[in-house]
Amino acid sequence: MLDYQFLGMVAVVLAVVTRGSLLPVVVVTAFIGVVTLACETTMRWYRRRHPAPPRRMHRAAAGPSGGELSRWMAAVERILGSPE
């Protein structure tokens, strides 16, 4: 969708820069509007032709297995039980 606020801002800046000369303001603003519309149209066409792959549901990480948990608990007990 064409952003009219952006084009208005461009027109005001050009009017200030060119000290109110109407022809450059209209031509440059129209050119920027046409380029913006062309880019948006191209983007829509590209997205239609190349759809994004479906997102996979992110699976929650499973807890540690029994053997892994007991190994870590043994290491923690050794650290906590050390005299240092």
pTM over 0.85: no
Report pLDDT digits (tens) over 8-42. 998 999 999 999 889 999 999 999 999 999 999 99
Query: Residue 79 falls within a domain, yes or no?
Result: no
Report pLDDT digits (tens) over 39-70. 999 999 999 998 888 777 766 666 667 778 88
Query: Residue 29 falls within a domain, yes or no?
Result: yes
Structural domain harbouring 25: 4-45
Query: Residue 74 falls within a domain, yes or no?
Result: no
Query: Residue 57 falls within a domain, yes or no?
Result: no
The confidence score (pLDDT) of residue 32 equals 92
- For 63-72, the CB contacts below 8 A with 24+ separation are none
Query: Residue 65 falls within a domain, yes or no?
Result: no
For residue 77, the tally of other CB atoms under 10 A from its CB is 10
Query: Residue 33 falls within a domain, yes or no?
Result: yes
The confidence score (pLDDT) of residue 35 equals 93
Q: How many domains does the chain have?
A: 1
CA 69 – CA 62 distance, rounded (Å): 12
